[in-house]
Amino acid sequence: MTYKEYEEIIEKRMKAGRFKHSKNVAKEAVRLAKKYGADVQKAETAGILHDATKETPDSEQLELIERAGIVLTPLERSTRKLWHAISGAAFVQVELGITDEDIINSIRYHTTGRAGMSLLEKVIFIADFTSAERDYDGVDKMRKLADKDLDEAVLEGMSFTIADLAQRKLTIAPDTFMGYNDVSFKASLKEKKEKMRRNQL
């Protein structure tokens, strides 16, 4: 299927505002993919499709998840906000016939992130934070980081989400925590290495 065909499918599944968001995420994902060397076409596809089921009724989302053979953990089942990422990944497989694991995982983990994210997964995760219509406190910082270092942007995004959820006393998914630990650990190692290098000069 072509990008235009995906756009037509997505337009019918959601209100104008969210469709605009989806197109903006696709555009931003293309920009980041070019900058960091990810597959541009996959980035555009995952970008337009990432929120495919965000306005789909709960019962339909659960059905898609079942049809894709995905079993929700009790915590996933109890966190309604996380469903659309999982059912979105199911939708693109069972309804659109997408088989590319990287595209599927980019949609599956676009809300939580996870440990060991691929370049494409990071591109989609960040494009969702920095798409053109986003207007939250801190979006300027995120856009600057996204242009400077993709991993630093992922760390900032995860820390932002975890702080916000903890502040509101909401449940935090294990993938969110594991993703955060993964990127923060790698960032601290990188800093240690740089310190050692500076001391040797």
Interface with ligand DGI (CB under 6 A), residue from 36, 62, 72, 79 = 79
| 173 interface partner picked from ligand DGI, Fe ion, none, CB below 5 to 8 A per type | ligand DGI
Residue 75, CA distances (Å) to 42, 55, 160, 165 in order: 30, 21, 21, 15
Does 114 contact ligand DGI by CB under 6 A?
A: no
How many other CB atoms are there within 10 angstroms of residue 101's CB atom?
11
Question: Per-residue x/- mask for Fe ion, residues 50 to 89, rule CB under 5 A?
Answer: -x--------------------------------------
Q: Is 105 one of the binding residues for ligand DGI (CB under 6 A)? A: no
Per-residue three-class SS string for 44-99: HHHHHHCCCCCCCCHHHHHHHHHHCCCCCCHHHHHCHHHHHHHHHHHHHHHCCCCC
Under rule CB under 6 A, residue 159 binds ligand DGI: no
Among 46, 150, 153, 173, binds ligand DGI (CB under 6 A): 173
User: Residue from 41, 78, 159, 171 that binds ligand DGI (CB under 6 A)?
Assistant: 171
Is 176 among the residues that bind ligand DGI (CB under 6 A)?
yes
Q: What are the structure tokens assigned to 53, written together? A: 């089921």
- Compute the residue count for the chain: 201
Query: Cβ–Cβ contacts within 10 Å for residue 174, how many?
Result: 13
**What part of residues 116-135 is at the interface with Fe ion (CB under 5 A)?**
128
Single out the segment in contact with ligand DGI by CB under 6 A; choices: 5-13, 35-43, 109-117, 145-153. 109-117
HSE toward the beta carbon, residue 165, CA cutoff 13 A: 18
CA distances from 181 to 16, 56, 175, 185 (A): 36, 32, 10, 6
By CB under 5 A, the residues from 154 to 193 that bind Fe ion are none
Which range in 9-17, 64-72, 107-115, 182-190 contacts ligand DGI by CB under 6 A? 107-115
Between CA 74 and CA 56 the distance in angstroms is 21
CB nearer to ligand DGI: pick between 98 and 124: 124
Which listed range, 27-35, 38-46, 79-87, 186-194, lies at the site for ligand DGI (CB under 6 A)?
79-87
The footprint of Fe ion (CB under 5 A) covers 51, 128
